[in-house]
Structure 1
Amino acid sequence: MWQTMCLLGFYTGLRWGELSGLHRHRIDQRRSRLFVVEVNTRSGIKEYPKSSKSRREVPLPSHVLEVLERHIHRLDRDAVVFTTLTKGRSGRLLTYLHTLVGVTAAPSRRHSRGARRLRPGLHQLIDALDGEPVLVLGRRSDVLAANRMAKALFTDFDQIPVRHRNYARWMFLGEEPRSLFVDWEDQARAAVESLRLEAGRDADDQATNGLIAELREKSTEFDHWWEEHRVHQRTHGSKRLHHALVGELTVEYETLTLPGDPDTTLFVYTAEPGSSSGQALDLLAMWTLTGTGTPRTGTAQEHD
C-alpha cells in the first residue's frame, strides 16, 4: 500500500490529506484520471467546498494507473483507497518517496540565491560538446552555464543578471519563450512541475520560495498551474521550436547528473542526423561560427 500511495503522490502532486481521503469511486479507470474532492482532516474525511480551487481533475500516467488498479480491484465503490493511515505516519511516506526519486534528507538551506561557480573542467566539457546545445542547471533550475549552441538556440543567458538567470523565470517572464517554443504551454507546465518537486526537497529554502512567490505574483499561468500540485522530474524529452534564424525544429534532450553533485544537471539537446531539425541545428552551428555574434531571439538584458 505504501508503495502505491507514494507512486500516486509523486506523479500527481496530491497532498497527504488528499491521498488518505481518496475514495474508490473518484478514480475513472476508463479515462485514466482521478477527481480530488475529499480531504482527510483531523476531524475526519470532508469534501472540499464546491467553490474551492482544490477540487480538481488529475490525469494518471498509464503505469501509475496500472499499479493503482491492482490495489483497488477488490475495494467497494465507496471505500477509501488507502486505509489505516494517519497523519502521524506521514514521515514514512516522505522517506519512501525520497527513496523513489533518489533524494536523501539534507539539512535545510535557508540562504538567498548566489552565483555558483562551476569547476573549470565542466566548462571545458560543455564547450567540447560544440555541435550540440548544452545547458547546465542547478537548484530551482538556475542556469549555471550554457555553451555557444545553447545560447544560439535559446537565448544568451550570460546577458541576464545573475539574480534572474533562472530557466523557469525566463520561461514565464522572458520576452523570447512564448514565440520561440511552439509547445510553450507544455514546456512551461514542465517547468512549474519541476519547481514544485524542488520545493518539496527543502520547504525552507529562501531562494526557492522567493522565486515561487515572484512567479505566482507576475504570471497568472504559473499561479494557476502551481495550484494543480503536479510534480515532474525532467530526465528526457523533446522541445518544438520556431527559431528566428533557422525556422521550425524539434530537439530531443537527455539529462546527466554529475556524480557527487546531485544539484547540478547537464541538459544535452540533439536532433536526428539528416532530418530537417538536424539540418537546422547544423545551420545554426555554422551561423555561430561565421556570424558577427550570438543570435538573439529577443531583447538582451544588461549585466548587474
Structure 2
Amino acid sequence: MGHVENEITPFLKARRAALDPAELGLPEGVARRRVRGLRREEVAQLAGVSVDYYTRIEQGRAPAISDSVLDAVARALRLTPVEHAYLRNITLPRRRAGDGALVCTEGTEARPRVRPEIQELLDAMDDTVPAIVYGPATDMLAWNRIAGRLSFDFDALPETELNAAWLIFLHPGARALYPAWEEMAEETVASLRAEIGRHPDQARVHRVICELRERSEEFRRYWEAQGVLDRNHGTKRILNPEVGELVLTYEAFPLPNDAGQRLCTFTAPKGSETERRLRALTERVGASVA
C-alpha cells in the first residue's frame, strides 16, 4: 500500500467497452474494430464535445468539468443514475488526491461510535427483527443479538474482521454461508465503488478497498469490472448453521444524524418457513444468554 491510482480512466473505458455500437446506430467504419465497444471519437460525438476534450476527461487530465458536459457524457455512455452520480463524484476537483484517485496508505482509524439511542432501537427489535448498523466501508458497528447469529457469530469475531466485505472475501466460511456468494460478492464490490464516490475523503473506505485488492483475487476481478451499485433493499439467502436456510428481505436506512451510518433490517414474510426459522433462532439465542 502507499500509492495512488486514477479511477476515472478505467471506469470510462469499461463503460465504453460495455456498449454495442450497432444498438446505438453507429456504423462499423472503414477499418474493422480492434476492441469491443465505442471508440473515444464516438463517445465525443454522442456527447457533443471535441475528441481532445473527451480524451482529457477519460485520462483524468481535465481539471474542471461542467455539470452539463458530465451529463452529456453520462447520456452518451448510457450510465445508470448511480453510475452517473459516481462519475460526478470522482471528477470533483475537491477530491483529496485531486484527480479522481484511489489512495492506498497504511494506518488505522477509530471506528465511528453508534449513539446509545440507536443501540436501544436495535435492542428493542431483538425478539422480532434482526438489525445491524453499518458504517463506512461496510464496517459492522452495532447489532442486536439475533442479527449477531444470522450468519457469522459477530460477538466471537475480532474487531478487525467486523466488516461485511472482509468477511465475504477473506473469511474461509463465507461461501458455505451464502449460496449466492458470487452475486453477493459482485454487489458488495459495486457498493464499495459507489461509496468511494460519495466519500472520496474517507480514509477507511480507501483502506478496505486497498486491502481487499491486495489479498483477494476475486475482489480484484470484480473491482476491475467497474460496476457501481447503491442498493438499499433486496433479498439475501443465508445457510444459517443452527436453523437452516433463511431467505430474508433487507432494507437499509441512512441515519441522517450519523454520517456514513446505515441501519439495516432483515425480515421474512408472515407464515413463511424463514419466519418460523427466525423464531427458532431467537429462542436459541435467548436460551444461550439466559
CA 196–170 in structure 1, closer or farther in 2 if over 3 Å, else same: same
Q: Give the Cα–Cα distance (whole angstroms) in 1 for the partners of residues 248 and 220 of structure 2.
A: 28
The CA deviation at 1:36 is 5.5
Counterpart residue type for residue 216 of structure 2: S
Residue number in structure 2 paired with 1:196: 193
The CA deviation at 1:80 is 4.4
Residue number among 154, 161, 166 corresponding to 1:164 in the alignment: 161
| Correspondence 1:75-224 to 2 at 5 A | 80-84=45-49, 86=53, 87=57, 88=62, 90-92=65-67, 93=70, 108=96, 112-130=108-126, 131-224=128-221
Deviations 1:228-247 (A, max 9, x none): 00011121000112211111
Q: Give the Cα–Cα distance (whole angstroms) in 2 for the partners of residues 255 and 210 of structure 1.
A: 23
| Correspondence 1:237-276 to 2 at 5 A | 237-276=234-273
Higher strand share: 1
Q: Is the 8 A contact 1:19 1:82 kept in 2?
A: no
Counterpart residue type for residue 258 of structure 2: D
SS at match of 2:46: coil
Quote the RMSD (CA, aligned, Å): 3.6
The CA deviation at 1:19 is 5.5
Counterpart residue type for residue 133 of structure 2: V
Q: Is the 8 A contact 1:134 1:268 kept in 2?
A: yes
Counterpart residue type for residue 115 of structure 2: R
The CA deviation at 1:154 is 2.0
Residue number among 272, 277, 282 corresponding to 1:280 in the alignment: 277
Counterpart residue type for residue 162 of structure 1: E
CA 273–207 in structure 1, closer or farther in 2 if over 3 Å, else same: same
Deviations 1:138-165 (A, max 9, x none): 1111111111111111223243332332
The CA deviation at 1:82 is 2.6
The CA deviation at 1:176 is 2.8
Deviations 1:231-274 (A, max 9, x none): 11121000112211111220000111112334110110000111
Deviations 1:192-228 (A, max 9, x none): 1111111223445433222212211221111101110
Unpaired runs of 5+ residues, structure 1, are: 1-12, 30-34, 46-77, 294-304
Counterpart residue type for residue 132 of structure 1: V
SS at match of 2:211: helix
Q: Is the 8 A contact 2:213 2:219 kept in 1?
A: yes
SS at match of 2:146: helix
Q: Give the Cα–Cα distance (whole angstroms) in 2 for the partners of residues 26 and 202 of structure 1.
A: 37
Unpaired runs of 5+ residues, structure 2, are: 1-8, 26-34, 75-80, 98-102
CA 91–176 in structure 1, closer or farther in 2 if over 3 Å, else same: farther
Q: Is the 8 A contact 2:251 2:266 kept in 1?
A: yes
Counterpart residue type for residue 167 of structure 1: A
Q: Give the Cα–Cα distance (whole angstroms) in 2 for the partners of residues 273 and 23 of structure 1.
A: 43
Deviations 1:269-298 (A, max 9, x none): 0001111111111111111111368xxxxx
CA 244–119 in structure 1, closer or farther in 2 if over 3 Å, else same: same
SS at match of 1:260: coil
Q: Is the 8 A contact 1:115 1:162 kept in 2?
A: no
Q: Is the 8 A contact 1:193 1:230 kept in 2?
A: yes
Structure 1 stretch displaced more, 141-150 or 111-120? 111-120
SS at match of 2:132: strand
Q: Give the Cα–Cα distance (whole angstroms) in 1 for the partners of residues 176 and 11 of structure 2.
A: 34
CA 21–185 in structure 1, closer or farther in 2 if over 3 Å, else same: closer
Q: Is the 8 A contact 1:22 1:39 kept in 2?
A: no
Q: Give the Cα–Cα distance (whole angstroms) in 2 for the partners of residues 177 and 23 of structure 1.
A: 34
The CA deviation at 1:91 is 4.8
Residue number in structure 1 paired with 2:29: none
Number of corresponding residues: 240
